[in-house]
């Protein structure tokens, strides 16, 4: 999400730094989430649910809070979907242009595509209302892929030619072995984590 937003800024250099857009935004988000998490746990203890709104009784103030949360999700969803649309729509647009589709047709299909992506996310939210059931899946898959599996594979693909031309035999062996070890370890944790989560869901 960071790079597409930085590219769209009028002054991209304002994205980073101690007072940059990213630092300021993430600091505020961290403070708000920490505040909600701390006081939510202090209030409900071990009975706290995956979403704190599920613990709130249906009183006037709490209903107002839930309504405000709806607006937060509604407007925040625009920012989250922006990156997905920026990645997926341009190739589809090129194919439509190659087929000589008019600009009106392309614009209409783009709107339909955006609606489809939002509806897909909405269906997931309806199917899994309790976040504590899906968070482990996201954590184990995205966590292992982004931290161990993908970096080791990319390192092998991108730097293998340079390493094999310039490094010594021992360095070449170490380069292959440690990347293979990280990739295999990530796959092991991924499979075992998914298995444990699936068993937990089935038992529920």
Q: How many CA atoms lie within 13 A of 154 on its CB side?
A: 7
Same domain as 135, residue 112: no
CA distance 23 to 17: 7
Residues 142, 189, single domain; the answer is yes
Residues 63 and 82 in one domain: yes
110 token code pair: 């783009």
Q: Is 9 helix (H, G, I), strand (E, B) or coil?
A: coil
Q: Are residues 107 and 161 in the same domain?
A: no
Calpha distance 179→185 (Å, rounded): 10
* Per-residue pLDDT tens over the stretch 130-148: 667 677 777 888 888 888 8
38, 88: one domain: no
Residues 146 and 193 in one domain: yes
Question: Could you tell me the residue range of the domain that residue 8 belongs to?
Answer: 1-54
Please state the domain count of the chain.
3
pLDDT of residue 29: 84
Question: Would you say residue 122 has pLDDT above 80?
Answer: yes
pTM of the model: 0.57
* Domain end among 37, 54, 71: 54
pLDDT reported for residue 184 = 94
Co-location of 124 and 173 in the same domain: no
Co-location of 134 and 200 in the same domain: yes
């Amino acid at each position: 999400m960071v790079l597409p937003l930085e590219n769209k800024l009028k002054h991209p250099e304002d994205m980073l730094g101690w007072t940059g857009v990213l630092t300021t935004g993430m600091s505020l988000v961290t403070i708000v989430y920490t505040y909600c998490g701390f006081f939510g746990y202090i209030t409900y203890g071990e009975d706290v649910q995956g979403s704190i709104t599920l613990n709130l009784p249906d009183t006037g103030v709490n209903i107002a809070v839930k309504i405000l949360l709806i607006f937060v999700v509604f407007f925040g969803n625009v920012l989250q979907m922006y990156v997905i649309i920026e990645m997926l729509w341009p190739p589809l647009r090129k194919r439509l242009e190659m087929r000589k589709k008019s600009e009106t047709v392309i614009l209409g299909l783009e709107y339909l595509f955006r609606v489809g992506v939002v509806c897909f996310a909405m269906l997931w939210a309806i199917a899994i209302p309790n976040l504590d059931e899906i968070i482990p899946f996201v954590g184990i898959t995205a966590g292992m892929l982004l931290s161990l599996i993908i970096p080791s594979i990319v390192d092998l693909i991108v730097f293998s030619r340079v390493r094999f031309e310039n490094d010594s035999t021992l360095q070449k062996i170490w380069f292959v072995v440690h990347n293979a070890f990280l990739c295999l370890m990530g796959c092991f944790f991924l499979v075992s984590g998914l298995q444990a989560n699936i068993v937990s869901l089935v038992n529920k």
